[in-house]
A and B are shown apart, each in its own frame.
Chain A
Amino acid sequence: MQPTPHDDPHTHESHHAELGFWRKYIFSTDHKIIGLQYGITALLFMFFGFCLMMMMRWQLAYPGKALPVVGTWLYHLLGPEMVGKDAAGHVGVIMPDLYNSFGAMHGTIMVFLAIVPLAFGAFGNFVTPLQIGAPDMAFPRVNMASYQFYFLGGVIMFASFFIPGGAAQSGWTSYSPLATVTNDAQHPNGQTFWIFGMVCLINSSLLGAVNFITTIIQLRAKGLNWMRMPFFVWAQFVTAFLLLLAFPPLEAASVLQLMDNLLHTSFFLPTGLMVSGQPLHISGGGSPLLWQHLFWFLGHPEVYVLILPAMGIVTEIIANNTRKPIWGYRSMVYSVMVIGFLSFIVWAHHMYLTGMGTRIATFFQTTTMMISIPSVIILTALFISLWGASIRINTPMLFALGFLPMFGIGGLTGLPLGFNASDIQLHDTYYVIAHFHYIVAPGTIFALFAGIYFWYPKMTGRFMNEFWGKVHFGLSFLFMNLLFMPMFVQGLEGMSRRMYDGAATYAESGGVVGLSKYIVGLNVPISHAAWALGLAQIPFIINFFYSIKHGRKTGSDNPWEATTLDWQTPTPPPHGNFDKPVEVFRGPYEYSVPNPRRDFIPQNEPSQPEPLTHGNPVRS
């Protein structure tokens, strides 16, 4: 093989020297840099959203007591209306309005500013073009605009904490009329900021989705036909369609709610609406249920936006570390398509309690049960892929293995919520919280951690520390379960998810609302587990930054001995990704091949293997 000019590291240097710091890192059009921008911003927001939750857990475990240390900071930041004094006179009690803000913004931030940007924006951007053998996304400047919209939306959401009246308080679902009448004297209020922030985030997702679909359809390398695409790319492809088609109705709903809030229309406000005993001066005639339909039309596909990229990441890692082809790749591909389609017709299972009628409820109950079938097919295929494998246990694989049972628990506990009879008991209790957190926290977030540990060597040329990675996994796994498992018990006992004092008011009180002291008391160990989970992330944070400069060098472009195209590039991949045009000759998971040299064949390797000396060249 003749060395091409690109193989010389010095030409890379000079090529990149043309771009200054701002063009290269801040206003970059390179999909890998944009992926990293998404990733870092999303990780920061995830940490921020987690901090909100840790403060809420204090109020739930020790209602009315001042938050130590942080409470004083909060007081100075947000003022006496938001942070009060406890019985002993200590400053730092989270007031009800602030608690509601934290709750609403924890949900909003985690879903729209942390998980989706990390799963879709970061991993999708970094990995997808590499895996399909493309030099970049189809529209690099649109890609940059997509990140900038996301960043702007994040800034607006973050800034809303510091305006008079504080951030949005009506839950991440922003149900009307609550969202319209809350803090109505103050305009623009937190809800206005929430809507503008959401519009930015929706536009960001739409631009991203158009870009991803176009890229995957148009820029696949020669020979990479649809059934040769890695499952990760399939998952991103379906996710992009969900974002493209499900988000616009929420944009429409946001516009309508903005009209309600600022121009005093009545899209979601019914005739004769009373607030605090006073009739509201509005024209009326609107429908609160309309908001719920529009919101959940996005809301349910959004759940699959959270989970599908995670399944994609886990599939790549499992294939790589079991050293076997994925069992039932085609079934998984068809399943992910069926999930994508069905996810558009299940939304009203969030609304069984609205009295929409048994026939409609039966329809949505049926579709909800149907969508569990393809999800189970994917999970089963991944489990069976483990069968008989000689598994390489490393940190990414541990997180991927952790994902499987955790997502299983989350998925199976969702079934009682999908049946409308049992949902009536469980609706709005801690059972729901436990269910979807099992899906997203030890489910999706574990998959995202797995992805970070897995692709880190491609991004930096160095491994993250294995030992601290395993510590991070072990502790996270333990505390995730200690955190969320007791919530199932609380929920089954009927504890509502929205109580400011963690249901202390109802402890031991008589009648139907009575909760036992034991159930309410579970709040304390749950909170301890939450804070311990926070501490368990410290090894990850240090490991992440320390390894950039000091991690063990990979010594190869393909340190995991993977088959997919993302590992057949220089490390880190230069602008334009590949040294020479890529051609694909085989499916994505050709592991365990009978070959004396090595047990895998990369996708871009021709049928006649090259002589030993030329395979898989090592670059420093």
Chain B
Amino acid sequence: MEIPYAVKPRPDTGLYNAKLGIWLFLASEVMLFGALFSSYILLRVNAEEGTWPHHWLNIWLGMTNTFVLILSSVTVVLGWAALKMNQFKRYKLYQGITILCALVFLCIKSFEYRDKFMHYEVHLKDGRIADGHKQPESTDKVLVLEGRYVASHAELMEGEVHHEAEPRIEIPRDQIASMENYGPWHNTYTAIYFTLTGLHALHVIGGAIVIFAIWGPLAKVWEQDPERYTNRVEVSGLFWHFVDLVWIFLFPVLYLL
């Protein structure tokens, strides 16, 4: 028994099964991220005046990642086009760059995550507020931050644009009333930031694994059934474009606005 149109397109729809399947799957993905972006809008519109932070993320890192993903989108297409022209070696090169781009993106992203987890807002018992990155010299007795004292919690909402070099401050642990890092629990902004980028990162990882599997372990399919192999590359490429597109929305929403 053989499933019709598994490789060749059906004449009246012009699509092979997997291509239609991936478009439908992407439609559901649009609804998934659409719901999350809608949630973002609703939460932000409902936020009280002065509680929504700005400029908490490094725009240059975000911009680099945007270009890394755009580059990967280009190489995915070039890889597929190379297969269509029967140039397997060039496909290997281009799709190799795609996988490399995914890794670079994830490295930069994890660096950004680590930065947020090391970033603390510390409320002292005398009412002062310190804000900065925890340093490895910190001990059980003293917390060492690279940061500053701020006048109020509201000042933190404007982010890191107003100051450059940050001094080292040492705070004895017994003077700390409460401290919290900039993890998802910190406020609504970090919550939606980690959720959206985390879910996106899972998509990047999933897409990269599939693209790698087709590129590496499953490459022998090319010799047996080149058309099926090219279809697989096309379908995984469509998914990859979607993942890139989500980031194109995420970058301005989380970094710039």
Please report A residues at the B interface, Cβ cutoff 8 Å.
134-136, 138-140, 142, 206, 209-211, 213-214, 217-219, 244-249, 251-253, 255-256, 259, 263-267, 271, 282-283, 285-287, 290, 293-294, 297, 575-576
Whether B32 contacts A286 by the Cβ 8 Å rule is no
Whether, in the assembled complex, B63 has its beta carbon less than 8 Å from a beta carbon of chain A, the answer is no
Task: Give CA–CA (A436, B31) in the complex, Å.
Answer: 27
Min CB–CB distance B1 → chain A (angstroms): 4
A256 touches B195 (CB 8 A): yes
Cβ of A576: which chain B residues have Cβ within 8 Å of it? 1
A580 to B51, CA, bound (A): 68
By beta carbon, the residue of chain A nearest B186 is: A283
Q: What is the minimal beta-carbon distance from B151 to any residue of chain A, in angstroms?
A: 21
**Chain B proximity of A191: nearest CB distance (Å):** 18
> Number of B interface residues, CB 8 Å?
42
Cβ distance B30 to chain A, nearest Cβ, rounded Å: 8
**Most chain A CB atoms below 10 A, which of B24, B36, B51:** B24
Give chain B residues whose Cβ lies under 8 Å from the Cβ of A138.
Answer: 3, 5-6, 17, 21
B184: Cβ under 8 A from any A Cβ: yes
**Contact pick for B1, options A259, A264, A575, CB 8 Å:** A575
Within 8 A of A (CB), among B25-40: 25, 27-29, 31-36, 39
Highest count of chain A CB atoms <10 Å: which of B1, B10, B35, B186:
B35
B43 touches A252 (CB 8 A): no
| Residues of B in contact with A (beta carbons under 8 Å apart) | 1-6, 10, 13, 15, 17-18, 20-21, 24-25, 27-29, 31-36, 39, 42-43, 46-48, 51, 183-188, 191-192, 194-195, 199
Chain B residues positioned under 8 Å from A248 (CB to CB) = 28-29, 31-32, 34-35
> Contact between B27 and A245 (Cβ–Cβ < 8 Å)?
yes
- With A138-B17, A140-B3, A218-B10 already in contact, the answer to whether A245 and B28 are too (CB < 8 A) is yes
Given contacts A218-B10, A248-B32, A286-B43, 17 further A-B contacts (CB under 8 A): A139-B18, A211-B21, A213-B20, A219-B4, A219-B5, A219-B17, A247-B31, A249-B34, A251-B32, A252-B36, A256-B36, A259-B191, A264-B185, A265-B185, A266-B188, A285-B43, A294-B39
Selected contact of A287 from candidates B32, B43, B185, B186, CB within 8 Å: B43
A349 shortest CB reach to chain B, Å? 19
3 closest Cβ pairs, A-B complex: A576-B1, A265-B191, A249-B35
The answer to whether B39 and A135 touch across the interface, beta carbons within 8 angstroms, is: no
**When chains A and B are docked, how far (Å) is the Cα of A385 from the Cα of B241?**
49
From B5, B6, B24, B47, A209 is in contact (CB under 8 Å) with B24
Given A245-B31, A265-B185, CB of A214 within 8 Å of CB of B20: yes
Q: Take A255-B195, A267-B43 as given contacts and tell me if A135 and B1 are in contact as well, using a CB distance cutoff of 8 Å.
A: yes
Query: Which of B29, B48, B191, B195: most chain A Cβ within 10 A?
Result: B191
Among candidates A135, A293, A297, residue contacting B2 with C-beta atoms closer than 8 Å: A135
A8 vs B187: C-alpha distance when bound (angstroms): 70
Shortest Cβ distance from residue A60 to the other chain B in the assembled complex, whole angstroms: 36
Establish whether residues A249 and B31, one from each chain, have CB atoms under 8 Å apart when the complex forms: yes
Contact yes or no, B42 A265, CB < 8 A: no
Contacts of A287 in B (CB 8 A): 42-43, 46
Is A283 a contact partner of B24 (Cβ separation < 8 A)?
no
B residues near A210, Cβ cutoff 8 Å: 21, 24-25, 28
Task: Give B189's nearest chain A residue, CB to CB.
Answer: A285
Q: How far is the CB of A216 from chain B (nearest CB, A)?
A: 10
Contact check, B35 vs A286: say whether CB atoms are below 8 A apart: no
Write the nearest CB–CB distance from A517 to chain B, whole angstroms. 46
Count the A-B residue pairs with Cβ separation under 8 angstroms: how many? 129
Contact, CB under 8 Å: A263 / B183: yes
Query: Quick one: given A210-B21, A249-B32, are A285 and B10 in contact (CB under 8 Å)?
Result: no
Residue pair A244, B10 in contact (C-beta under 8 Å)? no
**Are B21 and A214 in contact (CB-based, < 8 A)?**
yes
**Min C-beta distance of B23 to chain A, whole Å:** 9
In the assembled complex, the Cα of A441 lies from the Cα of B4 at a distance in Å of 39
State A437–B199 Cα separation when bound (angstroms).
37
Provide the residues of chain A in CB contact with B21, threshold 8 Å.
138-139, 142, 210-211, 214
A187 to B: closest C-beta gap in Å: 14
Residue of A135, A290, A575 near B42 (CB, 8 A) is A290
Are A267 and B39 in contact, CB atoms less than 8 angstroms apart?
yes
Q: Using Cβ atoms and an 8 Å threshold, which residues of chain A touch B39?
A: 252, 256, 267, 290, 294
Q: Check B5 against A244 for contact (C-beta < 8 Å).
A: no
CB distance from B135 to the nearest CB of A (A): 25
Identify which of B20, B25, B188 contacts A286 (C-beta below 8 A). Answer: B188
- CA of A244 to CA of B23 in the docked complex: distance in angstroms? 11
Q: Is there an interface contact between B35 and A297, defined as CB atoms closer than 8 Å? A: yes
A348 CB to closest chain B CB (Å) equals: 14
Which A residues are in CB contact (< 8 Å) with B192? Answer: 267
A263 adjacent to B43 (CB under 8 Å)? no
Measured between beta carbons, the chain A residues less than 8 angstroms from B36 are: 252, 255-256
- Measured between alpha carbons, how far is A142 from B22 in the docked complex, in Å? 12
B28 lies within 8 A of A218 (CB): no
Cβ–Cβ contact B3 & A219, under 8 A = yes
Q: Please, which residues of chain A bring their CB within 8 A of the CB of B6?
A: 138
| B122 → chain A closest CB, angstroms | 16
Whether A218 touches B1, Cβ cut-off 8 Å, given contacts A251-B32, A265-B185, A267-B43, is no
Question: Which residues of the partner chain B approach A259 to less than 8 Å between Cβ atoms?
Answer: 184, 191, 194-195
Choose among B20, B48, B51, B185 the residue that contacts A218 (Cβ–Cβ < 8 A): B20
What's the nearest-Cβ distance from chain A to residue B8, in Å?
Answer: 11
Once the chains are docked, how many angstroms separate the CA of A206 from the CA of B188? 29
Give the distance in Å from the alpha carbon of A290 to the alpha carbon of B194 in the complex: 18
Bound-state Cα–Cα, A49 to B6, Å:
40
Q: For A575, what are the chain B residues with a Cβ–Cβ distance below 8 Å?
A: 1
> How far is it, in angstroms, between the C-alpha of A266 and the C-alpha of B185 when the chains are bound?
7
A214 contacts B199, C-beta separation under 8 Å: no
| Residues of A close to B185: CB separation below 8 A | 263-265, 282-283
Residues of A contacting B188 in the complex (Cβ-Cβ under 8 angstroms): 265-267, 283, 285-286
> Shortest Cβ distance from B110 into chain A, in angstroms?
18
Which residues of B lie under 8 Å from residue A249 when comparing CB positions?
Answer: 31-32, 34-35
- Which one, B1, B187, B194, contacts A136 given CB within 8 A? B1
Question: What chain B residues lie within 8 Å of A211 (beta carbons)?
Answer: 21
Q: How far is the CA of A140 from the CA of B185 in the complex (A)?
A: 42
Q: Closest Cβ of chain A: how far from B106's Cβ, in Å?
A: 20
Q: Are B17 and A218 touching (Cβ within 8 A)?
A: yes
Q: Are A139 and B191 in contact, with the CB atoms below 8 A?
A: no
Residue of B nearest to A575 (CB): B1
- What's the least CB distance linking A400 to chain B, in Å? 31
Q: Let me know if B28 and A247 touch, CB within 8 A.
A: yes
A-B residue pairs in contact (CB < 8 Å), sample of 28 = A135-B1, A138-B3, A138-B5, A210-B21, A214-B17, A214-B24, A218-B20, A219-B3, A219-B4, A219-B5, A219-B17, A244-B24, A247-B31, A248-B32, A251-B32, A255-B36, A255-B199, A259-B191, A265-B184, A266-B187, A267-B191, A282-B185, A283-B188, A283-B191, A285-B46, A287-B42, A287-B43, A575-B1
